[in-house]
A and B are shown apart, each in its own frame.
Chain A
Amino acid sequence: MKRTITFILYLLFIDILSATTFHIGTRYPIKSIKEAVRLSSGNDSIIIHKGTYRENNIVITHPIIVIGIGAPIIDGENKYELFIISSKNVFIKGLHFKNSGCSALNDYASIKIINSSNVSVIENQIDNAYFAIHVSNSNFCTIKNNIINGLRKQEQTTGNGIHLWKCSNFLIEGNAITNHRDGIYFEFVTDSRIQKNSSENNIRYGLHFMFSHNDEYYNNLFQNNGAGVAVMYSKNVMMKYNTFKYNWGASSYGLLLKDISDSYISSNIFSKNTVGIYMEGSNRININKSSFQENGWAIKVQSNCDENKFHDNNFYGNTFDVSTNGYSSPNKFYNNYWDKYEGYDMNKDGIGDVPYHPVSLYSRIIENTPGTLFLLKSFVILLLDTTEKSLPTLIPENLKDTRPLIKPLVI
């Protein structure tokens, strides 16, 4: 909304300042985008009409509005970059970028934004890019409703869909990213909001961020990515209403949290992942109102995690609910619904009277010797688990849900 208003204000100012509008196309005197950019000055507009433009390294250094009509194709012919923006107040909309270059030395991108502010990249389509949108050292930008589809190559020979480095106050919304290395990659990005994106079929991570504090992630969908979602070395992260699905593989996680602290993860869905949430060195995270369905392991908490709270979640059909490698657990579990809970509720207040131990003996055995997966669901394992449940000796005594719910929560 804010962006739209800014855009309208822009248009008003264009009239007031009598900025020029350049039309580019086969039926117009100017045939090349580079030419139009060279002729334009601050706050001019460039309207690109339908057609194919074989141009690259279009450098924009002053405020400008670039709008494509009928999705004009900008084809880089696999050489260099397409747009390089280094200015404030740039608006790019409705273009179809294709075939930017690929290089082992440079991070070639279809749209590269450097040292800029107030740049909007809206409703573009980007195909076969090395990096699709590469932003560094910028702030107050919007990347919205773009469709980004990479070439599914090897991890080393493809770049990230949306790559941000040292940025702040970004809005990344409604983008669909497929077949890149990392769908969305952040490093040193702060105070930004990422919402309603979908990141699927990427080679490595659907979302990958490091050292990115105070960011918010809402309503995103991450599925079928090589290694799921990995978030590291950040604090004050807010993740809500996201869906993590079908991340299968030996080192694949719905959500991998490494050294994340003081964060809030709520109302997410983790479905059919090898591991729903994997936590390492993460402290003071509140995980609630989430639903864990049919994962191999719903939650794996390493023993270096401290003071995390897991409450009001639903656990259904997971092979293992919780697994840990330590003998004590300083994390709290309460008010969750576990489908494997076998306790009773005498006073009918909806809360089970005996605590639930989500760590089974077998999950401990399998943690130490993964080869014992061979015995999954066998009679001997059933016996071992039952024995351990009635006389707990090996599983961490204090890792238990003290108030397990009898009926699943409506989330």
Chain B
Amino acid sequence: MNKTVKYVLYDIFRSRILIAYACLLFLISFSLMSFEENPSKGLMSLLNITLIVVPLISIIFGTIHFYNSNEFIELLLSQPFSRSSIFFSQYMSVSASLSCAFIIGMGIPIIIFSPGTIGTTLIITGLLLTMVFVSLAFLSSVFVRDKAMGIGFALLLWFLFSLIYDGLILMLIVSLSDYPIEKLTLILASFNPIDLGRIFVMLQMDVSAMMGYTGAVYKDFFGSSTGMIYTFLIMFLWILWPLLLANHRFNQKDL
């Protein structure tokens, strides 16, 4: 398995897309952090990038990579490896390389300009989101045989989590505003990794606004250590379930 990971990583780094991604993140973060006089405002812009761009790149890159390595996977399958080990080594190398690019691209500027709790939380959230979305990318590419459709499905997933889901929640909250739905939204946040990550970082950042009644509910829950553990747990579930489901399908698939 280690050897497979090594070869896949070698392959990924040779493609240069990843390097371009790291450079892009680095340029954006570096310029945002150095242009903004107020570091918390810079971090706010970086949060937007972490919540929108990072999942997008992760899911697209993951899907394309999986389709492109189809032949390589077939070659490996002719060797005495279990399917699971090939699948997981693919996942590990893709998510590791994207995480690496994220740390170089965004982690370093954050550590230089604004080290501290907010920065650390932002980096952790970015890493978790990378892993979640690579996992979702693998899910879509294992289930959909056609490349174009697979990428389309992956994009749809990204669109769902970054926009549609929030739009639906906005509608739900507005139409149910007469009821105490704060607790319900806590549960709803768990069904969207991007929302979960956003609230997780938000609680470190926008403390004043979060201190209204609704904010107090979130703060009580997500701000406590139980909430922190809960957030991590749910994030790991979001990494695991698509991955295990995809692995299950991959094991039975007629390649």
Contact = CB atoms under 8 A, between A and B. Distances in A.
A294 B208 contact: yes
Interface string B194-214: 010011001000111111111
Interface residues of B, number: 39
A69 interface: no
A325 B163 CA distance: 27
Interface string A332-376: 000000010000000000000000000000000100111111111
Contacts of B190: none
B167 A373 contact: no
Given A317-B41, A375-B166, A380-B170, A249 B211 contact: yes
Given A250-B213, A296-B209, A380 B167 contact: yes
B103 interface: no
A365 B174 CA distance: 8
Given A378-B166, A380-B163, A380-B167, A373 B208 contact: no
Contacts of A339: 38, 41
B40 interface: yes
B79 interface: no
Given A294-B40, A382-B48, A375 B169 contact: yes
A379 B169 CA distance: 13
A369 B174 contact: yes
B207 A377 contact: no
Interface in A266-302: 272-274, 294-297
Contact of A370 (B47, B170, B195, B213): B213
A264 interface: no
A383 B48 CA distance: 12
A173 B157 CA distance: 63
B44 interface: yes
A273 B206 contact: no
Contacts of A274: 208-209, 211-212
Interface in B77-108: none
Nearest to A273: B208
Nearest to B161: A379
B214 A374 contact: yes
Interface string A287-323: 0000000111100000000000000000011011000
Contacts of A296: 206, 208-212
Contacts of B211: 248-250, 252, 274, 296
A380 B185 CA distance: 16
A293 to B, nearest CB: 9
Interface in A366-406: 368-383
Contacts of B181: 371
B206 A319 contact: yes
Contacts of B202: 376-377
A372 B212 CA distance: 12
Contacts of A316: 38
Contacts of B28: none
Contact of A371 (B47, B51, B167, B214): B214
Contacts of B41: 317, 339
B220 to A, nearest CB: 12
Contact of A380 (B166, B176, B212): B166
- Chain A CB count within 10 A is highest, among B44, B51, B215, for B215
Contact of B209 (A252, A319, A382): A319
A382 B48 CA distance: 10
B170 A377 contact: no
B214 A370 contact: yes
Contact of A379 (B52, B174, B176): B52
A272 B208 contact: yes
Interface of B: 38, 40-41, 44, 47-48, 51-52, 162-163, 166-167, 169-170, 173-174, 176-177, 181-182, 185, 188-189, 195, 198-199, 202, 206-216, 218
29 contacts: A252-B211, A274-B209, A274-B212, A294-B40, A295-B208, A296-B209, A296-B210, A297-B209, A317-B38, A320-B209, A368-B174, A368-B177, A370-B212, A370-B213, A371-B177, A371-B185, A373-B212, A374-B185, A374-B199, A374-B218, A375-B170, A376-B198, A376-B202, A376-B206, A376-B209, A377-B44, A377-B47, A377-B48, A379-B52
Interface of A: 248-250, 252, 272-274, 294-297, 316-317, 319-320, 339, 365, 368-383
